[in-house]
Amino acid sequence: MSVLRPLDKLPSLNTATILLVGTEDALLQQLADSMLKEDCTSELKVHLAKSLPLPSSVNRPRIDLIVFVVNLHSKYSLQNTEESLRHVDASFFLGKVCFLATGAGRESHCSIHRHTVVKLAHTYQSPLLYCDLEVPCSWVPTSLSLLTWLAQGLSEWPGSQASAALTDG
Protein backbone atom coordinates (compact mmCIF):
# COMPACT_ATOMS: atom_id res chain seq x y z
CA MET A 1 0.00 0.00 0.00
CA SER A 2 1.55 3.27 -1.02
CA VAL A 3 1.83 6.00 1.56
CA LEU A 4 1.63 9.66 0.57
CA ARG A 5 4.88 11.44 1.26
CA PRO A 6 5.37 15.20 0.93
CA LEU A 7 8.80 15.14 -0.71
CA ASP A 8 8.64 12.09 -2.96
CA LYS A 9 8.27 14.23 -6.10
CA LEU A 10 9.91 17.35 -7.38
CA PRO A 11 7.90 20.55 -7.03
CA SER A 12 6.43 21.94 -10.23
CA LEU A 13 7.09 25.54 -11.21
CA ASN A 14 4.42 28.03 -10.07
CA THR A 15 1.93 25.30 -9.31
CA ALA A 16 0.27 24.24 -6.11
CA THR A 17 -1.87 21.13 -5.74
CA ILE A 18 -4.60 20.49 -3.22
CA LEU A 19 -6.05 17.05 -2.60
CA LEU A 20 -9.61 16.88 -1.25
CA VAL A 21 -10.50 13.56 0.41
CA GLY A 22 -14.09 12.82 1.32
CA THR A 23 -17.10 10.60 0.62
CA GLU A 24 -19.48 13.33 -0.54
CA ASP A 25 -18.73 13.67 -4.26
CA ALA A 26 -21.13 16.51 -5.02
CA LEU A 27 -19.90 18.67 -2.13
CA LEU A 28 -16.25 18.14 -2.99
CA GLN A 29 -16.92 19.06 -6.60
CA GLN A 30 -18.64 22.30 -5.56
CA LEU A 31 -15.77 23.23 -3.26
CA ALA A 32 -13.19 22.45 -5.95
CA ASP A 33 -15.02 24.61 -8.50
CA SER A 34 -15.21 27.45 -6.02
CA MET A 35 -11.49 27.26 -5.26
CA LEU A 36 -10.55 27.26 -8.93
CA LYS A 37 -12.61 30.39 -9.46
CA GLU A 38 -10.49 32.27 -6.94
CA ASP A 39 -7.94 34.67 -8.35
CA CYS A 40 -4.39 33.27 -8.12
CA THR A 41 -1.42 34.39 -10.14
CA SER A 42 0.07 30.93 -10.06
CA GLU A 43 -1.66 27.76 -11.15
CA LEU A 44 -3.80 25.84 -8.72
CA LYS A 45 -4.66 22.19 -9.24
CA VAL A 46 -7.35 20.46 -7.22
CA HIS A 47 -7.56 16.68 -7.04
CA LEU A 48 -10.52 14.83 -5.60
CA ALA A 49 -10.39 11.41 -3.98
CA LYS A 50 -12.95 9.30 -2.18
CA SER A 51 -10.36 7.73 0.08
CA LEU A 52 -6.68 6.93 0.38
CA PRO A 53 -4.49 5.20 -0.73
CA LEU A 54 -4.49 6.75 -4.18
CA PRO A 55 -3.93 4.45 -7.17
CA SER A 56 -0.24 4.46 -8.01
CA SER A 57 -0.80 4.05 -11.73
CA VAL A 58 -1.82 7.68 -12.24
CA ASN A 59 0.85 10.31 -12.87
CA ARG A 60 0.09 13.18 -10.53
CA PRO A 61 2.02 16.23 -9.29
CA ARG A 62 3.31 16.66 -5.75
CA ILE A 63 0.51 17.19 -3.26
CA ASP A 64 0.94 20.41 -1.26
CA LEU A 65 -2.14 20.27 0.95
CA ILE A 66 -4.52 17.45 1.90
CA VAL A 67 -7.97 18.46 3.07
CA PHE A 68 -10.01 15.74 4.77
CA VAL A 69 -13.69 16.57 4.50
CA VAL A 70 -15.77 15.04 7.30
CA ASN A 71 -19.54 15.24 7.03
CA LEU A 72 -20.96 15.48 10.55
CA HIS A 73 -24.21 13.95 9.32
CA SER A 74 -22.54 10.69 8.36
CA LYS A 75 -20.53 8.34 10.55
CA TYR A 76 -19.35 6.63 7.39
CA SER A 77 -17.47 9.75 6.30
CA LEU A 78 -15.65 9.85 9.67
CA GLN A 79 -14.71 6.16 9.40
CA ASN A 80 -13.49 6.74 5.85
CA THR A 81 -11.33 9.66 7.00
CA GLU A 82 -9.83 7.62 9.83
CA GLU A 83 -8.99 4.82 7.40
CA SER A 84 -7.42 7.24 4.92
CA LEU A 85 -5.27 8.93 7.56
CA ARG A 86 -3.29 5.71 7.92
CA HIS A 87 -1.95 6.12 4.40
CA VAL A 88 -0.44 9.56 4.98
CA ASP A 89 3.18 9.96 5.99
CA ALA A 90 3.77 11.60 9.37
CA SER A 91 5.74 14.51 7.91
CA PHE A 92 2.64 15.64 6.06
CA PHE A 93 1.16 16.74 9.36
CA LEU A 94 3.66 19.59 9.68
CA GLY A 95 1.27 22.06 8.14
CA LYS A 96 0.12 20.26 5.01
CA VAL A 97 -3.04 18.66 6.35
CA CYS A 98 -6.30 20.35 7.20
CA PHE A 99 -9.64 18.99 8.42
CA LEU A 100 -12.90 20.42 7.17
CA ALA A 101 -16.06 19.57 9.11
CA THR A 102 -19.28 20.22 7.26
CA GLY A 103 -22.86 20.17 8.45
CA ALA A 104 -22.53 21.49 12.00
CA GLY A 105 -25.21 24.07 11.24
CA ARG A 106 -27.98 21.49 11.05
CA GLU A 107 -27.70 20.11 14.58
CA SER A 108 -30.78 17.92 14.16
CA HIS A 109 -29.09 15.91 11.39
CA CYS A 110 -25.77 15.32 13.15
CA SER A 111 -24.68 11.75 13.80
CA ILE A 112 -21.23 12.64 15.05
CA HIS A 113 -20.54 14.81 18.01
CA ARG A 114 -18.49 17.92 17.27
CA HIS A 115 -15.96 16.91 19.91
CA THR A 116 -15.06 13.77 17.99
CA VAL A 117 -13.63 15.81 15.10
CA VAL A 118 -12.04 18.29 17.51
CA LYS A 119 -10.23 15.38 19.14
CA LEU A 120 -9.24 14.00 15.73
CA ALA A 121 -7.76 17.33 14.63
CA HIS A 122 -5.99 17.67 17.97
CA THR A 123 -4.51 14.17 17.72
CA TYR A 124 -3.07 14.96 14.29
CA GLN A 125 -2.01 18.50 15.30
CA SER A 126 -3.79 19.97 12.30
CA PRO A 127 -6.29 22.78 11.98
CA LEU A 128 -10.01 22.17 11.86
CA LEU A 129 -12.31 24.39 9.84
CA TYR A 130 -16.09 24.37 10.09
CA CYS A 131 -18.29 25.08 7.12
CA ASP A 132 -21.60 24.11 5.61
CA LEU A 133 -20.87 22.89 2.11
CA GLU A 134 -24.56 22.41 1.39
CA VAL A 135 -25.03 26.17 1.57
CA PRO A 136 -23.65 27.92 -1.56
CA CYS A 137 -22.67 31.15 0.18
CA SER A 138 -20.16 29.29 2.35
CA TRP A 139 -18.07 28.04 -0.59
CA VAL A 140 -16.15 31.28 -1.15
CA PRO A 141 -15.06 31.89 2.47
CA THR A 142 -14.14 28.21 2.84
CA SER A 143 -12.04 28.31 -0.35
CA LEU A 144 -10.27 31.44 0.83
CA SER A 145 -9.48 29.84 4.20
CA LEU A 146 -8.08 26.76 2.52
CA LEU A 147 -5.99 28.79 0.08
CA THR A 148 -4.59 30.85 2.97
CA TRP A 149 -3.69 27.65 4.76
CA LEU A 150 -2.09 26.29 1.59
CA ALA A 151 0.02 29.43 1.22
CA GLN A 152 1.06 29.25 4.84
CA GLY A 153 1.97 25.59 4.55
CA LEU A 154 4.05 26.22 1.46
CA SER A 155 5.91 29.14 2.97
CA GLU A 156 7.13 26.92 5.80
CA TRP A 157 8.85 24.59 3.34
CA PRO A 158 12.05 26.06 1.88
CA GLY A 159 12.48 26.42 -1.84
CA SER A 160 8.88 26.65 -2.93
CA GLN A 161 8.01 29.51 -5.24
CA ALA A 162 4.32 28.90 -5.40
CA SER A 163 3.58 30.31 -1.93
CA ALA A 164 4.58 33.89 -2.73
CA ALA A 165 2.59 33.77 -5.93
CA LEU A 166 -0.52 32.50 -4.15
CA THR A 167 -0.52 35.18 -1.50
CA ASP A 168 -0.25 37.87 -4.15
CA GLY A 169 -3.47 36.58 -5.67
Q: Provide the binding-site residues for another protein, judged by CB under 8 A.
A: 23, 73-77, 79, 107-113, 115, 118-119, 122
Nearer to another protein, 42 or 74 (CB): 74
Helical (H) or strand (E) element with 48: strand 43-49
| Residue (of 136, 67, 61, 126) closest to 95 by Cα position | 126
CB 71 to another protein: min, Å: 9
Distances (CA, A) of 158 to 26, 112, 150, 152: 35, 38, 14, 12
Least Å from the CB of residue 108 to another protein: 4
* Amino acid in the structure at residue 66: I
- Phi and psi angles of residue 135, each rounded to the nearest 5 degrees, phi first: -100, 120
Nearer to another protein, 37 or 109 (CB): 109
Give the sheet arrangement for strand 128-131, strand by strand. 43-49, 15-21, 65-71, 97-102, 128-131
Considering the complex, what minimum distance in angstroms separates the CB of residue 29 from another protein?
16
Nearer to another protein, 37 or 75 (CB): 75
Tell the smallest beta-carbon distance from residue 12 to another protein (Å).
36
Residue 73 or residue 96: which is nearer to another protein going by CB? 73
